[in-house]
Amino acid sequence: MRGGTPTPDVSKLAYGGHTPCVEVRLGGQLKLILDAGSGLRSLGAAMEAERGDSPAEAHLFLSHFHWDHIQGLPFFAPLYSPDWRLTIHSGRPVPEVQAALATQMSHPYFPAAATVRAQLEHRQAGRTGAKIDDLSVLAFALNHPGGSTGYRIDSPYGSIVFATDHEHGDPAGDSRLRLHVQDADILIYDSQYTPAEYEFKKGWGHSTWLEGARLAASAGVKQLILFHHDPERDDDGVSRLEEAAMSVFPNTIAAREGVLTVI
């Protein structure tokens, strides 16, 4: 839920201190994972327990390769089990993805690449999208230093848009985002800053709760989830942002670790 770095501080644990990692389930079954922040470690342990003795597969969609979005991958238990088939999707070309992820698991950072046992496949998320059982996933570019990818996930039961690490204000980027957000059931939106804070953070690649609320209201979104909380903001501060956003778009919640949202 946090951006930048984990926050294992007592004052920040009500909403959660892990960096971005979201699981998407359909009919109670895990279908895909969005980003590989520090929360991926505990998710991986839960996935191993859920699997039991049966082979399994998982799809991981990465927004980009900034540290807070991939730092959980070296601690992801399924990565080291031959019983898992893992497909890693990204908006970037496959060789770039492989190089970026291999680097963080090599000397001198975390030399564990040689112990990976899962069946790995890398795919570039193209304009035609990906089909995973009853889910359709469309990728689109976001406005962020070095680039970031958002995803719209559609199913027979509803739609989710994952749009973190996006800075509003770029006409082409805002138009593209709005197109993919239109009439979504759930919008998970980068809300790291207040409007006042943003005045000093322009160009950093993040947005505000106000832009998220305005977008949700104008695009016919059913529920807005404020995401990528600033690591400096304590739980009371996140609650105040949630209240402020609700004054513009009533069906708003701040992302909270372990909370299940159903569509």
Sequence spans of domains, the chain:
15-124, 126-258
55, amino acid identity: P
Distance CA 140, CA 168 (A): 15
Residue with tokens 């730092």: 71
Beta strands in the chain (DSSP E): 22-26, 29-34, 56-62, 84-90, 119-124, 130-132, 135-142, 148-155, 158-163, 186-190, 223-227, 252-254
252 CB neighbour count, 10 Å cutoff: 26
Among the residues of the chain, which ranges form H helices?
Answer: 40-51, 94-104, 171-181, 195-198, 209-218, 235-248
Strand partners, 263: none
Residue with tokens 């699981």: 23
Residue 127: pLDDT over 80: no
Could you tell me the pTM of the whole model? 0.96
Q: Assess contact for 249 and 224: CB atoms under 8 A.
A: yes
Residue 173: pLDDT over 80: yes
Q: CB under 8 Å to 67, separation ≥6 — which residues?
A: none
Residue 8: pLDDT over 90: yes
Cα distances from 60 to residues 132, 170, 173, in angstroms, run 11, 28, 24
Tell me the backbone φ, ψ of residue 135, rounded to 5 degrees: -105, 140
pLDDT band at 143 (very low <50, low <70, confident <90, very high): very high
127, amino acid identity: R
pLDDT band at 128 (very low <50, low <70, confident <90, very high): confident
CATH value of 126-258 in 2.40.50.100, 3.60.15.10, 3.40.605.10, 1.10.3720.10: 3.60.15.10
DSSP 3-state assignment of 62? strand
Q: What is the pLDDT of residue 199?
A: 97
Q: CB under 8 Å to 54, separation ≥6 — which residues?
A: 83
Q: What is the pLDDT of residue 21?
A: 97
Distance CA 239, CA 143 (A): 26
Q: Assess contact for 13 and 23: CB atoms under 8 A.
A: no
CA 117 to chain centre: 25
Span 175-192, average pLDDT: 98
Span 21-28, average pLDDT: 91
DSSP 3-state assignment of 182? coil
Residue with tokens 């953070």: 201
Nearest to 192 by CA among 218, 160, 217, 168: 168
Residues 33-57: tens digit of each pLDDT? 999 999 999 999 999 999 888 889 9
Distance CA 83, CA 153 (A): 26
193 CB neighbour count, 10 Å cutoff: 25
